Structures are given as C-alpha cells and as structure tokens.
Amino acid sequence: MVYRFYDFDETLALTKTALYRAYKKALAEYDITFDIDYFTDFIYVDATKYLKETCNFSEAEIAEIKSMKEAYYLDDFFDDIVWNWPDISLMDTYVIVTNTRKELVEKLLQEYDMRNMTNMAGVFKVIGAYSSNVTYKRKPDPELYEVAFQTYIQRMRKTDELHIYEDSPEGLLAAASFLNAFKKRISKFYLHHII
C-alpha cells in the first residue's frame, strides 16, 4: 500500500491568486486595500492572526470576513485556481493535510468535480486545521500529520510507503517532526518538496 499526504495550497492546487482576489474583495468592504506582495508577506500565511493583531478585528468580524472571502473564492475566483492533480492509482490512499478549513477544501473539490465530471472529492480525504467541530494546531506543529496518520493508516507494514508533498517551510517542518516522532512505525517514507 502507498499512502500519499498532500498539502493543499500551492502544492495540490495553486490557490494564491484566487485567495488574494477573494480577500481583497472582502477587505475592500472595510476600506482595506493591498497588493499581492503585501498579501503574500502579511496575510497569506495566517490570515486570522493578521486580521486580529494588525487590523484589530473582533472574532465576529473575522468570521464575517472569512465567510465573505470563502463566498468570493468559490463564486467569483474559482477559475483562478490551477490544479496539480497527481496520476491517481486506485491502489493508493490520498489525504489532503492542510491549514485550510476542512469544509472549504471539500467544497472546492466538489466544485471541481461538478465542473469537470470527475470524482476527486471521492479520492481525496481531508484533514484541515479547523472545521465546524474540531480545531487542530496549524503547521509547523506536526499535529495535522499525526491525525492524518491515525485516521487513515491503521497499521503500516514494512512494504508500505508514505509520501508527503509540501511546499512551505512550515509544512516541511511539520512533516519532518511527524516523521521523526513516528519513525518506529514508518519504515519507508519520502518527503517531497514542491517548488
């Protein structure tokens, strides 16, 4: 068995442009403007932290901004996403391990399936940093990988392989910390840095 854990943003899907446009449109309603370089440096890595600490928005305001951002992302800027689908093998297990909200990633997969007559939502399971009923520590903490492993890999045999695909320093650190902690249970692993 081969297990494949993919980060979502900028690994499985190039989403930065769509996210930039969605946040720009949402925050314009609060008279906040920025270019893509500012977005990349200050908002993209942790939007919640930016909205709370830099803009001093309340929890309710942050929830409203994120709700608007998600609506714009799905309705107005979905076509800006570039998908990097791997060759799918029915023998492999595919899991998205992401700091993004689980339900949002699932909606994006469903939207892709609806437009392209595919079943990517059925192929990829999703572990997100937060969802409607649970919150996990964000990368670079390894908790998301630990949860993905415990949820989708019941027992690894010596012949099984685990491949992890990550683009960011935070994601690579999370994956490396996870692999180090689970090295007695995972004998064959491959950490792929997506550039």
Q: Contact, 130 vs 137, CB < 8 A?
A: no
> Taking 90 as the threshold, does the pLDDT of residue 131 lie above it?
no
Whether residues 75 and 87 fall in one domain: no
Render pLDDT for 45-83 as a digit per residue (tens, 0 to 9). 889 999 999 999 999 999 999 999 999 999 999 999 999
Q: Supply angle C-alpha 7, 48, 114, rounded to 5.
A: 50
User: Which whole number is the average pLDDT over 140-145?
Assistant: 97
Tokens at residue 188, please? Answer: 């064959």
**Which pLDDT value is given to residue 34?**
95
User: Which whole number is the average pLDDT over 134-146?
Assistant: 95
Whether residues 136 and 63 fall in one domain: no
Share of the chain above pLDDT 90, in %: 91
Whether residues 8 and 34 fall in one domain: no
Whether residues 160 and 117 fall in one domain: yes
> Taking 90 as the threshold, does the pLDDT of residue 130 lie above it?
no
User: Which whole number is the average pLDDT over 94-112?
Assistant: 96
User: Which whole number is the average pLDDT over 171-193?
Assistant: 95
Whether residues 74 and 86 fall in one domain: no
Residue 111's domain is classified under what CATH number? 3.40.50.1000
> Taking 80 as the threshold, does the pLDDT of residue 154 lie above it?
no
Tokens at residue 59, please? Answer: 């929890």
Among 190, 176, 183, which Cα is nearest to 156's? Answer: 183
Sorted by sequence, the CB contacts under 8 Å of residue 18 that are 6+ apart come out as: 73, 77, 78, 80, 81
Domain boundary among 30, 48, 79: 79
Whether residues 112 and 174 fall in one domain: yes
Q: Contact, 128 vs 98, CB < 8 A?
A: yes
Q: Which structural domain range is residue 187 located in?
A: 2-14+81-193
Domain boundary among 62, 79, 96: 79
> Taking 90 as the threshold, does the pLDDT of residue 195 lie above it?
no
Question: Residue 4: pLDDT band by 50, 70, 90 thresholds?
Answer: very high
Whether residues 96 and 175 fall in one domain: yes
> Taking 90 as the threshold, does the pLDDT of residue 187 lie above it?
no
**Which pLDDT value is given to residue 46?**
87
User: Which whole number is the average pLDDT over 122-145?
Assistant: 94
Whether residues 90 and 186 fall in one domain: yes
Whether residues 51 and 117 fall in one domain: no
Whether residues 86 and 75 fall in one domain: no
Helices vs. strands in the chain: H and E counts, helices first: 8, 7
Domain boundary among 79, 108, 123: 79
Tokens at residue 177, please? Answer: 């910390």
Q: Which of the residue ranges 74-83, 104-113, 179-188 would you say has the lowest mean pLDDT?
A: 179-188
Q: Determine the Cα–Cα distance for residues 116 and 25; give it in Å rounded to an integer.
A: 27
The tally of domains found in the chain comes to 2
Q: Determine the Cα–Cα distance for residues 168 and 189; give it in Å rounded to an integer.
A: 19
Q: What is the mean pLDDT of the chain?
A: 95
Question: Residue 155: pLDDT band by 50, 70, 90 thresholds?
Answer: confident
Whether residues 125 and 187 fall in one domain: yes
89-119 residues labelled b (16+ CB within 10 A) or e (exposed) = eeeebbbbbbbbbbebbbbbbeebeeeeeee
**Which pLDDT value is given to residue 113?**
98
Whether residues 176 and 88 fall in one domain: yes
